[in-house]
Structure 1
Amino acid sequence: MLINFLGSVWLQLTSSAEFAEVGCPSLRVRASVSSPQKLYSSKTTQVKSGEEVQIAVLGASGYTGAEIVRLLANHPQFHIKVMTADRKASEQFGSVFPHLITQDLPNLVAIKDADFSNVDAVFCCLPHGTTQEIIKGLPKQLKIVDLSADFRLRDINEYAEWYGHAHRAPELQQEAVYGLTEVLRDEIRNARLVANPGCYPTSIQLPLVPLIKAKLIKLSNIIIDAKSGVRRGAKEANLYTEIAEGIHAYGIKGHRHAPEIEQGLSEAAKSKVTISFTPNLICMKRGMQSTMFVEMAPGVTAGDLYRHLKSTYEGEEFVKLLHGSTVPHTRHVVGSNYCFMNVFEDRIPGRAIIISVIDNLVKGASGQAVQNLNLMMGLPENRGLQYQPLFP
């Protein structure tokens, strides 16, 4: 075992969560999204073939926690040792999510009762605003992938502005590495704490970061219209009767993923990038489509954008450029860790339209988290993630 430490932490939490890849492929173009100041130096843990990695899933009764469990059912080395859900403590996981009743899993426990003495790594699927203090109290040897938004923004003052309270673990924020896997692969390998990206930022940054770094698109007038499946929550706006048979725009002037997206694009540009971003909820269980309207640099064509993205992601398992005029649809990626995208010439001269689709629970959350922990453990990053999309 990697960990030989007994620790427990306590906080009364709801267990809701944001609804929000055999060899490691090479990446042709590197793009740095964040450059955290390192207070902790870590070397990639090399897990031997066949050696089990003991996992804790915190907030296992939320959608992202349940998706972690579903994905790890196909992982030959990650074994779930601890599962927490304060409101459902002592219950069997199969009683909360009957579709996973076939899995041999420990009972749910409250976080204050969790035993981390035989745990190697943690997926933290707790709501944002609660994760910082929890992670601060975990054994320091643990590898952690945090699926909340608590460590995504590098600037703690910007975090306070967007999330309404001071950052409660600023020393950990300086250590955290932003986990956009195909872009920050080398940094993630050596990280102890990875901030898993949000779903909208994943679908948007994967196409735009390489184009911005290559100076193929202008930094002004980037307009993004994004649509997502409905996330779990008790808000009236998320109820079926409010969402069904319609589209629900929200966070029009102040969605919390906007600064996360701008942080990544600005780092790629090495100058400030501001976007127009409108998210929308639509009545489907899974999926996300981001439609990006961009102005190309002088002399650049939509074909140039396509060829650069094709070259950038050539050899990548989970990011694919579709052929010709094929339009990416969310149904093409449901249940998988893929991001499909394509580039189209706009009818307005000098502009292009980029469409990117993901399953917001997989590549947009739990799948990317597994991909990141594979890297952190020195495993092929596709391990346990080779689920093909479900169709129809």
Structure 2
Amino acid sequence: MIKAGVIGATGYAGAELVRLLLAHPEAELTAISSVSFTGQALSEVYPAYFGQCDMTCTNQEEVIEKCDVIFAALPHGLSQELAQQCHEKGRAFIDLGADFRLEDEAEYTEWYGGGFQNKELHEQAAYGLPELFRKNIVGKKLIANPGCYTTAVPLALAPAIQNGLVELTGIIADCKSGVTGSGRKPSQTTHYPELNESFSAYKVANHRHTPEIEQTLTHVAGDKVHVTFVPHLLPINRGILATCYATLKPGVTEEQLREVYEKAYANEPFVRLLPKGMCADIKNVHYSNFCDVSLFTDPRCGQLIAISAIDNMVKGAAGQAVQNMNLIFGIQETAGLMMMPPAF
């Protein structure tokens, strides 16, 4: 059994990792940590885990010492030192934060502040979006696990971009997220009276996921891609819906698009290309590692409309991290992740 540990187990992504690892057939949850709840049982923080995970939150050093793979579910800026410690001890490290996602240090400094503590270590990191970069992940011990928007948008657009069917300028990603994407710590915007019966955009053209989305699509295209990215906050717990617009190249038909998407995702266990006319819906991916993709064209305007839906806590965070763990250790990629979404 793979000995797995979670640093930051009492945050939403950390708690979701615990849920998935408890049911994993080839991994054993060995240790968890939390700065805010050190010495308390996880089931005290999340009563839903009572009798299933009464493990006590310990310190980070103990997690690293006891485990083969360490998941860090922490805010940006807190993972680089932990990654160094894991590297020195030969442990696998999967970072759910942003510290290793951007390849350009100047870009990281611009959007997150700070810099790269160990540039050589950053060069060893693999970007953990398996459907696009699987060959780079296998056998690696340091994984930058993408977040929710940075998973949903590339999976919606990648086949069209990779096959040269759309223009690389004028791409728009209009996205909606459940409130768990804001983390467990409450804020004014996530306060119930502010969020309930409300729907608004935030960080318009200024969201930290923008350079990461562009970095992924640039790799796919082989040429620089810029994206207008507008996130919105939904008054729901879970889910990401990404509605993406791109200008079709002359003569490209919906049939051509569907053909390249079918080819790209034919053997991907977690990407479900929906039938013609069917719209991706966050309800249909709840608690699962699936990404549903819908394809539409608007011939009047020459536009591709690609829509993806994921659970931001699973495929957009913890589920993808487990998927990466499976690839690192050479076990079935779908192990522990084939839970079905509820039908209603």
Structure 1 ranges of 4+ moved more than 3 A: 115-118
| Equivalent position of 1:96 in the other structure | 45
* Rounded Cα–Cα distance in structure 2 between residues aligned with 1:214 and 1:71: 35
- Say if 2:257 is the partner of 1:296: no
Q: Distance in 2 between matches of 1:130 and 1:115?
A: 15
How is 1:1-392 mapped onto 2 (pairs within 5 angstroms)?
Answer: 52-112=1-61, 114=62, 116-138=64-86, 139-231=88-180, 232=183, 233-346=185-298, 348-392=300-344
Cα offsets for 1:279-331 (capped at 9, x unmatched):
00110000010001111112111222122111110122100111120111100
Partner Cα distance (2:156, 2:224) in 1: 18
SS of the residue aligned with 2:18? Answer: helix
What's the CA shift string for 1:166-216, capped at 9, x where partnerless?
233322211100000111111111211000011101001112122211101
Question: Contact 2:83–2:142 at 8 Å: present in 1 too?
Answer: no
Residue 140 of structure 1 and its aligned partner are, at CA, apart by 3.4
Q: Secondary structure of 1:76's match?
A: coil
The secondary structure found in structure 2 opposite 1:289 is strand
Gaps of 5+ in 2: none
User: Which structure has the highest helix share of the two?
Assistant: 2
TM-score normalised by the chain length of structure 2: 0.96
Deviation string, structure 1 residues 209-252 (Cα, Å, up to 9, x no partner): 22211101110111110000013332212212221112121111
Kindly indicate whether structure 1 or structure 2 has the higher relative contact order, using CA contacts under 8 Å at least 6 residues apart.
1
CA contact (8 A) 2:204 2:229 kept: yes
Q: CA deviation at 1:362?
A: 0.3
TM-superposed CA distance for 1:115, in Å, is 5.0
Seen in structure 2, the aligned counterparts of structure 1 residues 315 and 115 have a Cα distance that, compared at 3 Å, is closer
| Partners of 2:264 and 2:28 in 1: CA distance | 34
1:347 Cα offset (Å) = 5.4
- How far off its partner does 1:104 sit? 4.3
Size of the aligned set, in residue pairs, is 340
Contact residue 207 and residue 309 of structure 1 kept, 8 A: no
RMSD over aligned Cα atoms: 1.3
Q: Percent identity?
A: 39
Distance in 2 separating the partners of 1:358 and 1:348: 29
